[in-house]
Structure 1
Amino acid sequence: MLKGQIAIVTGASRGIGKEIALKLAEQGVKLALVGSSEQVNQTAEELKNKGFSHVLPIQADVSNESDMQEVVRKTIDEYGHIDLLVNNAGVGFFKLTEEVTVEEWKKVFEVNVQGVFLGIKAVLPHMKEQKSGTIITISSDVGRYTIPNGAAYTATKYAVQGFSGSVAQEVREYGIRVGTINPGMVDTYFAESTQGLPEKKDWLKVEDIANAVVYMASASKYMLIDEIVLHPLIQQYPIA
């Protein structure tokens, strides 16, 4: 169902974003991969070596408006249109509130909230013109409840939930679908951690999140999946 579609994936250099790119490529999706470092080129090469030829790496800062406008322009120049935007880029840390610096506060909001805003703002004129499109943001389960030592990160995810919900209502008349995927604990590089640590063996895997993206993007055009929430079985969390 996704074969031949065109997707932009941010934060595609490693972890969840890299796996999303792989799963979409396996579905026959043509990709524009966005990363903040040259590592995104390595990810593109790895996909090409697996036999996926339609992979366009773009080094860009998701919190920079001109960068994201250029991402959209390059994608359309390469493929002709855009069907899917996956906002995956994100940063986070865990600290007591009084230990958080203003620079850290700004950075987490610039990437997690402003990055989502600018990606969506950049693709919307194109998607509105073609009267179709799907926008998926990888948010977090802490966009639905709060945790200690994560005030800045949690605040960004609440912002993403509110923003995505409002945008979804704005654009549904154009046939554009907007949804979020809200994972719990995932074995990845989040908060400068290491993927594959023994203590994470029962956590969600990056392929679980990627499979959720494929499921949401593959839904029938008349169906809007507002959000998907998923947790590892071992995780205790508040019931909303």
Structure 2
Amino acid sequence: MSLQNKTILVTGASKGIGRALALLLAEKGVNLSLVARSENELLAVKTEVESKGAKAEIFVGSVGDEHFVKETIASTIATFGKIDALVNNAGFGVFKQAADISTAEWDAIYETNVKGTFLFCREAIPHMKAAGEGHIINIASDVAKRVFDGGSLYCSSKYAQDAFSMALRKEVRKDGIKVSVVYSGVVDTYFHSREEGDPYQAKYLTSQNMADTITYILEAPKHVVIDELMIHPMSQEY
């Protein structure tokens, strides 16, 4: 399915996977709403997107802020007249033993990884229902399916995001809305303690690998939904 002139909102769009996805979608003629916390980084992505001939609006704020989310969706509709797809990519991790996790850290992770996904879905769905179609892609992690020592906070947030996505899929399928979840292994991005491009991460998935995968899901024919997609580098056992 062609993405030409589609309107797609991407959260966590200032760097890493979100930035790579925005640039790839720009090459396909997509109208973009880009969300992140860093204004300077978002402005840089907007410049790159527009250099490829695509249109882009940027929104600076927290995905866990209800007012911000409502304003972002409303402005996207006002500017582009529709929202064809939503990619909930924003997320981060804190990795500690459970006894060492602060309440503030717990709240911050769930605010972004779970509440942010919920808020953007909730606000986008009525517009998709009115159009009779739409596509939501939630970027989870392979840890939505497994756990590890030191991962109680991050893993539980991704389990919650995944459970929400699975239930949502059942709710909105009858309305012509697709819900897809991507479970990735390790990706060479700022997410890890090392910088993107560090030799240690040379065998990880790249942001471009992830952007290609998400775009593949978006381009599936209208009657096809890729409910779940698990992706790993060959160097990582699952």
Q: TM-score range by the shorter chain?
A: over 0.9
Corresponding residue number in structure 1 for 2:42? 40
* Superposed displacement of residue 180, structure 1: 0.6
2:65 aligns with 64
Which residue is equivalent to 1:200? 201
Query: Structure 1 residue runs of 4+, over 6 Å off?
Result: none
What per-residue deviation string (whole Å, max 9, x for no partner) do you get for residues 62-109 of structure 1? 001111111111111111101010000001022111111110011000
- 1:60 CA drift (Å): 2.2
3-state DSSP class of the match of 1:123? helix
Given residue 223 of structure 2, which amino acid in structure 1 is its aligned partner? Answer: Y
CA distance in 2, matches of 1:18, 1:190: 13
Aligned-partner residue type, residue 102 of structure 1: T
Residue in 2 aligned with 1:5?
A: 6
C-alpha separation between the residues in 2 aligned to 1:126 and 1:181? Answer: 23
By how many angstroms is 1:46 displaced? 2.3
- Asked if the contact 2:98/2:150 (under 8 Å) is kept, the reply is yes
Contact 1:127–1:133 (Cα < 8 Å) also in 2: yes
- Helix, strand or coil at the partner of 1:190: coil
Aligned pairs (5 A) from 1:125-140: 125-140=126-141
Contact 2:23 2:48 in 1 (8 A): no
Distance 2:5 2:193 in 1: 35
Q: Secondary structure at the match of 1:195?
A: coil
On the 8 A contact 2:27/2:54 being kept in 1, the answer is: no
5+ residue gaps, structure 1, are none
Correspondence for 2:25: 24
Name the TM-score, length of structure 2 as normaliser.
0.96
Distance 1:43 1:2 in 2: 19
C-alpha distance in structure 2 between counterparts of 1:164 and 1:44, whole Å: 29
- AA of the residue aligned to 2:46: A
Deviation, 1:52, is 2.8
Distance (whole Å) between structure 2 residues aligned to residue 223 and residue 53 of structure 1: 26
C-alpha contact 1:91 1:191 (8 A) present in aligned 2: no
Q: How many residues of Structure 1 are paired with residues of Structure 2 in the alignment? A: 236
Residue identity opposite 2:234 in structure 1: L
For 1:1-240, what aligned pairs fall within 5 Å after superposition? 1-38=2-39, 39-48=41-50, 50-237=51-238
Secondary structure at the aligned position of 1:95 is classed as coil
The alpha-carbon deviation at position 192 of structure 1 amounts to 4.8
Q: Which amino acid is the alignment partner of residue 42 of structure 2? A: V
Per-residue Cα deviation, 1:108-153 (whole angstroms, up to 9, x for no partner): 0000000000010010111111110000011100001111111100
**Residues of 1 paired with 2:216 and 2:44: CA distance?**
27
Q: Deviations over 1:26-66 (max 9, x none)?
A: 11111010111212122111222x32340111112100111
Q: Structure 1 CA distance, aligned partners of 2:179 and 2:211?
A: 17
8 Å Cα contact 2:26-2:54 kept in structure 1: no
- Once residues 193 and 43 of structure 2 are traced to their aligned partners in structure 1, the CA distance between those partners, rounded to angstroms, is 21
Distance in 1 (CA, whole Å) between partners of 2:222 and 2:16 is 29
Q: 1:154 offset after TM fit, Å? A: 0.3
In structure 2, relative to structure 1, the CA distance for the partners of 1:193 and 1:199 (3 Å cut) is closer
C-alpha distance in 2 between matches for 1:52 and 1:193: 33
